[in-house]
Amino acid sequence: MPMAAAKALREVARRRGSWAAEVGRRCLSSGSAGPAAVAERKEGGKAVNLFTAVNQALHIALDTDPRAYVFGEDVGFGGVFRCTTGLADRFGKNRVFNTPLCEQGNRAIAEIQFADYIFPAFDQIVNEAAKFRYRSGNEFNCGGLTIRTPYGAVGHGGHYHSQSPEAFFCHVPGLKVVIPRSPREAKGLLLASIRDPNPVVFFEPKWLYRLAVEEVPEEDYMLPLSEAEVIRKGSDITLIGWGAQLAVLKEACEDAAKDGVSCELIDLKTLIPWDKETIEASVKKTGKLLVSHEAPITGGFGAEIAASITERCFQRLEAPVARVCGLDTPFPLVYEPFYMPTKNKVLDAIKATVNY
């Protein structure tokens, strides 16, 4: 390669690294916690935020399994959101390294800088990783491939840094899709995903990286995949969501309670394979269902939930299934507040459904 061309490539790489770091600083500037976000010790663990819980899970995964590797864009210096901070220093650059996402074998933990950038890898994920076990007649798997990627709104990301593409991957047999709502959930679900023999796409709500803080056990632990959790019991209507949208739904439930409406709130956690039994049991009790997510409404995973529960609970439903989702437009920058499925939109849908 000519010296001039090589110098130009190095300059592009340097500028790109600086840009990535600046994006990370801007996206995290609204958080109230510091770099470690560790509060005083409490019984059972420490209060940490979501990105710290992810970082803890990655440290444990690499420490407990010599087959585990972390690779992806900028993971060597910690990643845009600093989720891989300290990994290269502790485990070495042979196990934590920057690379295009084309490695095979080992227990790979790949990070894609933003979920919006996952699409060039779509063919390999859908046509290779997801079908590897099937093609081999259950003789082989992908060695526990886990693909981590930040998704969803961040406050100023625009149409290339705010998308929620989970529904694309929910259509693919052989993949698991997992989305945590909090630091404790993120650590336990990530460790479970890494140790699962199936390929997992693990979407991390970037809005919560610094903002969500809760007590997280410091030790190694896993939370079961494909088990939804009822986080608020109610009798009038069932609300379902995942990731950062759970906080919005919780606020809507609290406001609805002031008007005498009892909401049951469920975190789906794993979108594929999803826990139909827990949702079905709740809807048979309440007779009404509302699903909410940031992704556009058409073809969103909420449509699958609505169709499945209608089939299972048709005679018990007392109103059409409501969906409060993102709009069928590219994610807007200036008009983000109009796009988002906000608390007030959810609250209006709760009242309309209950009064149907």
Helix (H, G, I), strand (E, B) or coil at 134: helix
CB 349 within 8 A of CB 322: yes
Report for 16-30, 86-100, 271-285: range of highest mean pLDDT: 271-285
> What CATH number does residue 76 fall under?
3.40.50.970
Check whether residue 78 and residue 205 sit in a common domain.
Answer: yes
Please tell me the chain's helix, strand, coil percentages from 3-state DSSP, rounded to the nearest 5.
40, 20, 40
User: What is the pLDDT, as a whole number, of residue 17?
Assistant: 44
Check whether residue 190 and residue 250 sit in a common domain.
Answer: no
Check whether residue 157 and residue 47 sit in a common domain.
Answer: yes
DSSP annotation of 153: -
CB 211 within 8 A of CB 31: yes
pLDDT over 70 (residue 177): yes
Active site residues: 103, 161
Check whether residue 236 and residue 131 sit in a common domain.
Answer: no
Check whether residue 174 and residue 290 sit in a common domain.
Answer: no
Mean pLDDT in the chain? 87
**Single-letter amino acid code for the residue at 305:** I
Check whether residue 170 and residue 59 sit in a common domain.
Answer: yes
Instruction: Quote the CA–CA distance of 194 and 144 in Å, as a whole number.
Output: 6
Task: Tell the burial category of 239 from Cβ atoms under 10 Å away from its Cβ (0-12, 13-18, 19+).
Answer: buried
Which residue, of 216, 247, 271, is where some domain finishes?
216
pLDDT in tens, 196-230: 999 999 999 999 998 999 999 999 999 999 999 99
Check whether residue 138 and residue 273 sit in a common domain.
Answer: no
Check whether residue 181 and residue 103 sit in a common domain.
Answer: yes
Instruction: Quote the CA–CA distance of 229 and 220 in Å, as a whole number.
Output: 21
Check whether residue 166 and residue 262 sit in a common domain.
Answer: no
Check whether residue 90 and residue 162 sit in a common domain.
Answer: yes
- pTM as predicted: 0.79
CB 219 within 8 A of CB 46: no
Q: Point out the least confidently predicted range of 1-15, 73-87, 313-327.
A: 1-15
In a domain, 58, yes or no: yes
CB 149 within 8 A of CB 115: yes
Average of pLDDT values for 146-169?
A: 94
User: What is the pLDDT, as a whole number, of residue 20?
Assistant: 42
The pLDDT confidence band at residue 35, using thresholds 50, 70 and 90, is very low
Instruction: Quote the CA–CA distance of 72 and 78 in Å, as a whole number.
Output: 10
Q: Point out the least confidently predicted range of 20-34, 158-172, 178-192.
A: 20-34
Label residues 128-147 b or e (16+ Cβ within 10 Å = b).
ebbbbbeeeeeeebbbbbbb
In a domain, 65, yes or no: yes
In a domain, 21, yes or no: no
In a domain, 201, yes or no: yes
User: Which structural domain, as residue segments, surrounds residue 69?
Assistant: 41-216
Of 176, 114, 180, 179, the residue nearest 142 (C-alpha) = 176
Number of domains comprising the chain: 2
User: What is the pLDDT, as a whole number, of residue 77?
Assistant: 86
User: What is the pLDDT, as a whole number, of residue 107?
Assistant: 79
In a domain, 88, yes or no: yes
Instruction: Quote the CA–CA distance of 350 and 26 in Å, as a whole number.
Output: 35
Total residues belonging to the chain:
356
CA 203 and chain centroid, separation: 3
Check whether residue 208 and residue 266 sit in a common domain.
Answer: no
pLDDT in tens, 307-334: 999 999 999 999 999 999 999 999 999 9
Q: Give the percent of the chain with pLDDT over 70.
A: 85
Instruction: Quote the CA–CA distance of 20 and 91 in Å, as a whole number.
Output: 23
The pLDDT confidence band at residue 100, using thresholds 50, 70 and 90, is low
In a domain, 85, yes or no: yes
Check whether residue 83 and residue 184 sit in a common domain.
Answer: yes
Q: What is the DSSP string of 24-51?
A: HHHHHTT-SS-SS---SEETTEEEEEHH
> What CATH number does residue 319 fall under?
3.40.50.920
Sign of CA dihedral 27, 339, 356, 281: negative
pLDDT over 80 (residue 37): no
Average of pLDDT values for 41-48?
A: 70
pLDDT over 90 (residue 10): no
In a domain, 165, yes or no: yes
In a domain, 2, yes or no: no
Which residue, of 216, 248, 271, is where some domain finishes?
216
Which residue, of 216, 242, 271, is where some domain finishes?
216
